[in-house]
Amino acid sequence: MPSPATVKLNSGYEMPLVGFGLWKVDNDTCADQVYNAIKAGYRCFDGACDYGNEVESGQGVARAIKDGLVKREELFLVSKLWNSFHDGPRVAPICKKQLQDWGIDYFDLYIMHFPISLKYVDPSVRYPPGFKDEEGNVTPGKASIQETWTAMEDLVAKGMARSIGISNFRAVLIMDLLRYAKIKPATLQIEHHPYLVQEGLVKFAQDQGITVTAYSSFGPQSFLEMDMKEAQDTPLLLEHPIIKMIAEKHKKTPAQVLLRWATQRNVAVIPKSNNPGRLAQNLDVLNFDLVTGEMVAIEKFDKGLRFNDPLNYGFPIPIYV
């Protein structure tokens, strides 16, 4: 199967427009899922310290390379800096640990996971650390975004990351970051689906030459298993009559329509599936176009409804207020 089309980042590197997201991929099956995704044609894998499966992700990559399915330089491997490692001197050591976990020499993209600095938790105490410190409290750290970003820029100079990016940032924080950044963020990763279109933020980032990547493209679907009330109270996008009607018209699945809605807005996507059929379908979303009326109809779903908010998990960190 051919690899998906790519988008050229402001760093000069090419990133696949469709990747495979590693959030909530079980440790027991992660290596096999990564291997099978590579076999299906995926070349971009979006991981993170906080996902707790980087060792297994690396095992899947290593097996695929060993079996001749792919070369390292053909892959685009992404990871993220967690909140408790924002202090400048902590950035390179934790990135080095994550590279070792993956079994690779560099990340194609390394992202600041949240614009949140939390108290440091040593990896020997708990890893991944999550939102709480050693005493079980959510304790703010002292690092500014500028301190953290400057340390991430050093990762590029050291060859540990080819590109660096941000996630879960609002426009005002991006505007501030651009004032002092020596290296502009290559990407902005945000929650993005028809219930949370974020049109202004997407346009602002793209106008700045920052590529936008969507996570949770299927809206509430990803959050049902977490017993999140906001997700349970929201109609599923995959079962929405309008989405299903558009899918039938194009002879595609509802998931393919939702992914094409994003990619047609030049937003990259990182869906996941352990079903071989859906793996292939999710990758095959660039060979048809939605007409203007269909794009507009989907955008009218917008409710400003955000699921991935620390407040929804019970953490008193109101970054979206």
Segment holding 67, helix H or strand E: none
Cα 203 from Cα 314, distance rounded (Å): 31
How many CA atoms are closer than 13 Å to the CA of 204, on its beta-carbon side?
A: 13
Cα 150 from Cα 93, distance rounded (Å): 15
Active-site annotation holds for 35: no
How many Cβ atoms from other residues are within 10 Å of residue 271's Cβ?
A: 26
269, 18 Cβ separation under 8 angstroms? yes
| Strand partners for 45 | 20, 77
Which one of the listed residues 35, 42, 51, 120 is annotated catalytic? 51
- Helices then strands (H, E): number in the chain? 11, 10
- Active-site residue list: 51
